[in-house]
């Protein structure tokens, strides 16, 4: 029923689907009722005759009994307090007085009325429950369920539901805010069933809040309200946590709460006296049909999730046996049904489980975290092996685990298992390592890079200066080592002999003749890493640039001249950096600009260093680089190209294997060396 249907009618109040019609006389009542029914019929709304009370002298509406003589609270809303039994010890009495004191500002002359009870709290007095105490107890109960303590329900006021759970009962109170104070509107309590008493404490607390909302639903549906609890894990379980991450039973409670608009807050237990007292003195009565249906639907839902677990019946039975034998898991299961310690250091054995206590539950002898099985120690190696079937990576294995199993440290153990898997190590591609930029030379023509390349059917020798990036190239006919040496001598005669020459491992650069040439001319010959041309990146980049120029240019010499006279990022052209002057080209230039002028070497060095740093940063980011673990003496490795492993040797021995492989087959040298884990022993953890 919507309020718009009955809007404008006299003697009618509508709240959600509850409509109240009244009149001072029978004729006035009938006329107003007829007008309401006519509006309902036009709106196309159907009424249930069995739920309609017509022409009554007394009616229950929104927690109140409305009669011709006045309004009084609905007895069902105060039953939890009216039927509260007398305290049997100091602890129960203190709990009751805490509830009274919380609402004491609304009880006149409270200090005088509760004195007989407060006297029993003194350690000097013995426990004696007499006539004065019984009279004071009953008097205070009557005050709690009568005005001004008990407030009238008002749709315009802020509303709060406070609930708590003990080991055997649930208690809740519906509160309204009057100025700065919260006043009770209705009380509710009940005993837990035998099944509910076996719930974990966090499940009992969640049950208390859900049950309270269901019992007060006529007051709560359609408006925003506040849920109050003293159990901090419920803030995320019933608030921000995703539904599929919750334990099965709490997941069902959360689904029941989805029809309400609420915000949940946590308060200290000492501020929850009313709900706490009601939960410790629950009304013993038979469950209502709604409560029975709620319990049955919850149990059916949980059983459905357990039956849907990806494990056979035989495996689940074995799991139950191993959980019972495991001392740590057994203790965790015991704490789930009792109460977890306040601090993780109280029991070191359960420290790793303590942080997940809100998500850990017990169902039919199985320990669950959310809807995932908790695996005991003796069965973990087998589960790890199953998770790594197919030899998938760490991320995929973790995703498989998130679907069904959990134990403390599972993620880290999966990480170690995959990284130490011998089969995976043999097939694993090493990640890109951080780029190591070459140092900018101290002066031009100090360090050169040389390479051979083909364009069309012709072979060329290219030489590039690491400092100025000035390029020299010659046509090779043929491409023997002696021809390469001849052209290098010609280039050195024009520009001088460098200190270092970097080349690859081609036969033209690795023979005896080239070694003698380097020795006689007095320069250091350095070869790049096999199958890793990036180690002579300056020459490789120059080859790419020159190829592009020659393919597109009609006159290759003018193209080379254009390259040599074009300024680099540091502001100077290769010719300026090498020769200290601009070269005359076909582009008109002022004659004064062709006068020799040395570049600012300090500025050039600074700009080159900055450029190299930025290049390295971009490369590392683009390739998601990471440093590899350093090889230690005695480390077992897998030599990919040789399809064999090398174990128990020093680093120098590994280098010898590497060098010998290069000498045996220069066109397919060893490039990749992977770490191999040691074989796990029988019963030894991965």
Class of the domain covering 447-618: alpha beta
Give start and end residues of each alpha helix (H) in 233-326. Answer: 234-235, 248-257, 273-280, 289-307, 313-325
Q: If DSSP codes are grouped into helix, strand and coil, which group holds residue 439?
A: coil
Closest CA to 94 of 324, 102, 684: 102
The residues facing 475 across adjacent strands are: 460
What's residue 132's pLDDT?
Answer: 82
Q: Calculate the CA 307 to chain-centre distance.
A: 28
**Residue 656 neighbours by CB distance under 10 Å:** 12
Give start and end residues of each alpha helix (H) in 24-86. Answer: 26-43, 75-82
For residue 578, pLDDT over 50 is answered with yes
What's residue 560's pLDDT?
Answer: 93
**Residue 325 neighbours by CB distance under 10 Å:** 12
Closest CA to 82 of 281, 288, 219, 287: 281
Mean pLDDT across the stretch 76-83? 74
Q: Can you tell me the distance from the alpha carbon of 243 to that of 261, in angstroms, rounded to the nearest whole number?
A: 16
For residue 686, pLDDT over 50 is answered with no
Which residues of the chain does CATH 1.10.340.70 include? 312-427
Query: What's the mean pLDDT when you consider all of the chain?
Result: 82
What's residue 649's pLDDT?
Answer: 46
Min mean pLDDT across 228-242, 331-345, 470-484 is at 331-345
Mean pLDDT: which of 247-251, 305-309, 555-559 is highest? 555-559
> Angle between the 512-521 and 481-495 helix axes, to the nearest 10 degrees?
20
| DSSP track, 452-521 | EEEETTEEEEEEEETTT--EEEEEESS--HHHHHHHHHHHHHHH---SEEEE---HHHHSHHHHHHHHHH
Contact criterion met (CB below 8 Å) for 127 and 90: yes
Provide the CATH number for the domain formed by 312-427 in this structure. Answer: 1.10.340.70
Sign for the pseudo-dihedral over CA of 563, 566, 569, 575 = positive
Is 578 or 306 the better-scoring residue by pLDDT? 578
- The two tokens of residue 102 are 């919380």
Fold category of 86-149 in CATH: Alpha-Beta Plaits (3.30.70)
Min mean pLDDT across 177-181, 525-529, 635-639 is at 635-639
What's residue 467's pLDDT?
Answer: 92
What's residue 304's pLDDT?
Answer: 77
Q: If DSSP codes are grouped into helix, strand and coil, which group holds residue 20?
A: strand
pLDDT in tens, 121-159: 877 778 888 888 888 888 887 877 777 677 778 888 899
Task: Classify each residue of 551-576 as buried b or exposed e, where b means 16 or more C-beta atoms within 10 Å of its C-beta.
Answer: eeeeeeeebbbbbbbeebebebbbbb
Q: Can you tell me the distance from the alpha carbon of 262 to that of 256, in angstroms, rounded to the nearest whole number?
A: 13
Mean pLDDT across the stretch 444-464? 93
Min mean pLDDT across 202-216, 305-319, 410-424, 520-534 is at 305-319
Cα dist. 150→131, 296, 335, 390, 677 in Å? 26, 34, 38, 66, 72
Which residues of the chain does CATH 3.30.420.10 include? 74-83+151-308, 447-618
pTM to 2 decimals? 0.57
Q: Can you tell me the distance from the alpha carbon of 555 to that of 564, in angstroms, rounded to the nearest whole number?
A: 15
Q: Can you tell me the distance from the alpha carbon of 277 to that of 188, in angstroms, rounded to the nearest whole number?
A: 11
Provide the CATH number for the domain formed by 74-83+151-308 in this structure. Answer: 3.30.420.10
pLDDT in tens, 94-104: 888 887 777 66
Min mean pLDDT across 179-188, 252-261, 627-636 is at 627-636
Mean pLDDT across the stretch 18-34? 82
Q: Can you tell me the distance from the alpha carbon of 622 to that of 380, in angstroms, rounded to the nearest whole number?
A: 38
């Amino acid at each position: 029923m919507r309020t718009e249907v009955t809007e404008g009618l006299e003697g009618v109040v509508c709240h959600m689907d509850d409509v109240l019609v009244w009149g001072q006389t029978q004729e006035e009542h009938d006329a107003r009722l007829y007008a309401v029914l006519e509006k309902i019929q036009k709106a196309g709304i159907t009424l249930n005759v069995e739920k309609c009370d017509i022409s009554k002298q007394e009616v229950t509406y929104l927690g109140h009994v409305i009669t011709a003589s006045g309004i009084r609270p609905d007895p069902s809303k105060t039953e939890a307090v009216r039927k509260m039994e007398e305290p049997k010890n100091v602890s129960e009495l203190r709990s009751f007085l805490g509830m009274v004191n919380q609402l004491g500002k609304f009880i006149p002359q409270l200090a005088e009325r509760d004195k007989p009870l407060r006297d029993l709290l003194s350690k000097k007095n013995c426990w004696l429950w007499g006539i004065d105490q019984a009279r004071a107890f009953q008097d205070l109960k009557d005050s709690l369920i009568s005005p001004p303590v008990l407030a009238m329900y008002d749709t315009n006021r802020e509303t709060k539901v406070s609930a708590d759970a003990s080991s055997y009962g649930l208690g809740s109170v519906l509160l309204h805010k009057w100025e700065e104070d919260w006043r009770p509107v209705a009380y509710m309590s009940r005993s837990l069933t035998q099944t509910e008493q076996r719930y974990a404490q966090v499940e009992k607390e969640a049950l208390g809040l859900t049950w309270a909302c269901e019992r007060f639903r006529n007051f709560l549906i359609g408006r925003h309200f506040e849920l109050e609890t003293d159990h901090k894990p419920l803030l995320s379980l019933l608030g921000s946590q995703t539904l599929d991450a919750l334990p099965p039973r709490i997941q069902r409670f959360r689904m029941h709460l989805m029809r309400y608009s609420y915000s949940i807050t946590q308060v200290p237990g000492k501020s929850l006296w009313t709900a706490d007292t009601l939960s410790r003195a629950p009304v013993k009565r038979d469950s209502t049909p709604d409560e029975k249906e709620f319990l049955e639907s919850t149990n059916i839902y949980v059983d459905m999730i357990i039956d849907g677990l990806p494990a056979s019946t035989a495996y689940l039975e074995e799991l139950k046996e191993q959980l019972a034998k495991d001392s740590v898991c057994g203790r965790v299961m015991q704490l789930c049904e009792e109460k977890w310690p306040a601090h993780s250091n109280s029991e070191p054995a359960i420290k790793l489980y303590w942080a997940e206590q809100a998500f850990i539950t017990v169902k039919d002898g199985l320990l669950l975290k959310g809807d995932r099985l908790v695996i005991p120690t003796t069965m973990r190696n087998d589960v790890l092996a199953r998770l790594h079937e197919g030899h998938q990576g760490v991320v995929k294995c973790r995703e498989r685990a998130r679907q069904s199993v959990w134990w403390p440290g599972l993620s880290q153990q999966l990480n170690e298992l995959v990284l130490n898997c011998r089969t995976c190590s043999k097939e694993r591609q090493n990640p890109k390592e951080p780029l190591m930029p070459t140092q900018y030379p101290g002066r031009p023509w100090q360090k050169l890079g040389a390479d051979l390349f083909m364009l069309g059917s012709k072979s060329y020798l290219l030489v590039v200066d690491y400092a100025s990036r000035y390029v020299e190239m010659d046509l090779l006919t043929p491409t023997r080592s002696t021809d390469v040496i001849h052209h290098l001598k010609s280039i050195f005669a024009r520009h001088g002999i460098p200190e270092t020459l970097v080349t690859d491992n081609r036969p033209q650069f690795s023979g005896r003749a080239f070694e003698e040439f380097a020795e006689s001319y007095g320069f250091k010959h350095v070869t790049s890493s096999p199958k890793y041309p990036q180690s002579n990146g300056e020459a490789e980049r120059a080859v790419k640039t020159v190829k592009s120029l020659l393919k597109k240019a009609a006159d290759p010499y003018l193209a080379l001249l254009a390259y040599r006279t074009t300024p680099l990022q540091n502001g100077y052209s290769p010719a300026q950096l090498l020769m200290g002057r601009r070269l005359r080209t076909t582009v008109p230039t002022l004659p004064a600009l062709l006068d020799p002028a040395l570049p600012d070497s300090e500025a050039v060095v600074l700009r080159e260093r900055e450029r190299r740093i930025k290049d390295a940063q971009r490369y590392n980011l683009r390739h998601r680089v990471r440093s590899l673990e350093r090889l230690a003496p005695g480390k077992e490795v897998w030599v990919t190209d040789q399809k064999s492993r090398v174990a128990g040797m020093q680093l120098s021995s590994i280098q010898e294997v590497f060098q010998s492989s290069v000498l045996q087959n220069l066109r397919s040298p060893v490039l990749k060396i992977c770490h191999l884990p040691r074989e796990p022993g029988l019963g030894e953890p991965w």
